[in-house]
């Protein structure tokens, strides 16, 4: 059997309470006593049974998810995954609440975070709007030892404990290489549809995309970016207009609002072959992949992101380690053949 607090107490010649105080680095133990206990712990190779500890403490983990109020399929999916996690709450001892904030609005996000610093959630997961004032509050909260993870979009240079999302520069580079290889020897222009250059994930995808294009596919010229604000209507308008240009042979949609993109493609591109790469697998993009309107979809698994955020926040709250490789969010690449 593995050693318990009783064994430590016996070995060190102290009581259970003292062992517990040392284990939880609570004050009120003489230095020498502490040493004795720590020696015993090391010698017996004691490891604490977290489940038993949580049972005794009646511990639960109050967690808050802060999400942008965006009406697109990806955010709906993310919400759905959080609701699933809430259903699992009893078993996982979590107590999850979500707060919606206006999208692309640093001030609103700051206000919510300020509010949270008064109640005491044991962890915060947030889709970050990448702005200095947001970073400032986050850093302050982290210093006040709130565990914080960013979700989907990261916060440049901040102290957040972890980022649960894909590497977006790599995503953009991957999109460029797929598009370049699929187009082969053809020459022409590439349209890029983004949501907003105010969020870091979109900026980074664009950065990765343009750099690989420049380095390796000089025959493909990137047109000025269309900013669709992740809104299907705006996206539709912009893309429909852009497709008037007959030199366009490829499209990279790096944000959300793909409903509009797809509609524009079906209306305007019936007569020519366009190679299209988009982000996020939703009902709409899936259908478009199957009917060959889209050639490849890059995806981040919202379920994995939510589960990962929860695992990491719980671990940070307890000062425990995580399995790094398990928390890495992969960039999924879907062709019509490997859809889930």
* Site residues, DNA (CB under 7 A): 1, 4-6, 13-21, 23-24, 27-30, 32-34, 46, 48-49, 52-53, 55-58
Q: Which is nearer to a second copy, 16 or 52 (CB)?
A: 52
Q: What angle do CA 31, 50, 117 make, to 5 degrees?
A: 80
Compute CA distances 46 → 11, 15, 19, 37, 49, whole Å: 12, 16, 12, 11, 9
End-to-end CA distance of the chain: 43
Q: What angle do CA 34, 38, 43 make, to 5 degrees?
A: 150
Q: Which is nearer to a second copy, 37 or 298 (CB)?
A: 298
Q: Which is nearer to DNA, 16 or 107 (CB)?
A: 16
Q: Which is nearer to a second copy, 59 or 140 (CB)?
A: 59
Please say whether the dihedral angle defined by the alpha carbons of residues 131, 226, 173 and 165, taken in this order, is positive or negative. Answer: positive
Q: What is the C-alpha to C-alpha distance for residues 310 and 61, in angstroms, rounded to an integer?
A: 9
Q: Which is nearer to a second copy, 49 or 114 (CB)?
A: 49
Q: From the list a second copy, DNA, none, pick the one residue 135 interacts with, judged by a Cβ distance below 5 to 8 Å according to partner type.
A: none
Q: From the list DNA, a second copy, none, pick the one residue 122 interacts with, judged by a Cβ distance below 5 to 8 Å according to partner type.
A: none
Q: From the list a second copy, DNA, none, pick the one residue 95 interacts with, judged by a Cβ distance below 5 to 8 Å according to partner type.
A: none
Q: From the list DNA, a second copy, none, pick the one residue 144 interacts with, judged by a Cβ distance below 5 to 8 Å according to partner type.
A: none
Q: What is the C-alpha to C-alpha distance for residues 290 and 258, in angstroms, rounded to an integer?
A: 15
91 binds a second copy (CB under 8 A): yes
Q: What angle do CA 111, 117, 121 make, to 5 degrees?
A: 120
Binding mask 40-79 for a second copy (x = CB under 8 A): -------x-xxxx-xx------------------------
Residues 6+ apart with CB under 8 A from 303: 81, 84
Tell me the window of 142-150, 151-159, 251-259, 328-336 that interacts with a second copy (CB under 8 A): 328-336
Q: Which is nearer to a second copy, 50 or 111 (CB)?
A: 50
Q: Please give the backbone phi and psi of residue 85, each rounded to the nearest 5 degrees, phi first.
A: -65, -35
Q: What is the C-alpha to C-alpha distance for residues 304 and 308, in angstroms, rounded to an integer?
A: 6
57-60: which pairs have CB atoms within 8 A and are 24 or more residues apart? 59/93, 60/93, 60/94, 60/95
Binding mask 153-182 for a second copy (x = CB under 8 A): --------------x--xx-xx-xxx--xx
Helix (H, G, I), strand (E, B) or coil at 91: helix
Tell me which residues touch a second copy (CB under 8 A).
Answer: 2, 47, 49-52, 54-55, 84, 88, 90-91, 167, 170-171, 173-174, 176-178, 181-182, 184-185, 208, 212, 295, 303-304, 307, 323, 325-326, 328, 330-333, 335-338, 340
């Amino acid at each position: 059997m593995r050693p318990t607090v009783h064994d430590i107490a016996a070995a060190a010649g102290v009581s259970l309470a003292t062992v517990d105080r040392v284990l939880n680095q609570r004050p009120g133990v003489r230095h020498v006593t502490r040493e004795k206990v720590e020696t015993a712990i090391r010698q017996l190779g004691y490891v604490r049974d977290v489940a038993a500890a949580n049972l005794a403490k009646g511990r639960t983990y109050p967690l808050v998810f802060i999400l942008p109020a965006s009406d697109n399929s990806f955010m709906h999916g993310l919400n759905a995954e959080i609701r699933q996690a809430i259903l699992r709450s009893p078993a996982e001892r979590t107590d999850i609440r979500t707060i919606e904030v206006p999208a692309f609005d640093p001030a609103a996000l700051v206000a919510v975070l300020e509010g949270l610093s008064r109640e005491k959630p044991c962890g915060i997961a947030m889709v970050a709007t990448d702005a200095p004032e947001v970073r400032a509050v986050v850093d302050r909260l982290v210093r006040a030892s709130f565990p914080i993870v960013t979700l989907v979009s990261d916060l440049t240079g901040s102290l957040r404990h972890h980022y649960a999302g894909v590497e977006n520069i790599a995503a953009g580079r991957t999109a460029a290489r797929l598009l370049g290889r699929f187009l082969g020897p053809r020459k022409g222009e590439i349209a890029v549809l983004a949501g907003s250059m105010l969020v870091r994930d979109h900026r980074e995808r664009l950065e990765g995309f343009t750099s690989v294009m420049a380095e390796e596919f000089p025959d493909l010229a990137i047109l000025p970016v269309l900013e669709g604000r992740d809104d299907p209507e705006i996206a539709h308008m912009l893309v429909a207009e852009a497709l008037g240009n007959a030199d366009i042979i490829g499209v990279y949609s790096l944000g959300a609002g793909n409903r509009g993109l797809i509609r524009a493609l079906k209306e305007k591109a019936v007569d020519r072959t366009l190679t299209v790469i988009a982000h996020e697998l939703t009902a709409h993009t899936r259908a478009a992949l199957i009917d060959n309107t889209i050639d490849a979809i890059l995806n981040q698994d919202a379920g994995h992101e939510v589960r990962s955020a929860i695992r990491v926040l719980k671990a940070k709250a307890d000062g425990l380690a995580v399995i790094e490789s398990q928390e890495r969010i992969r960039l999924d690449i879907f062709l019509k053949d490997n859809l889930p």
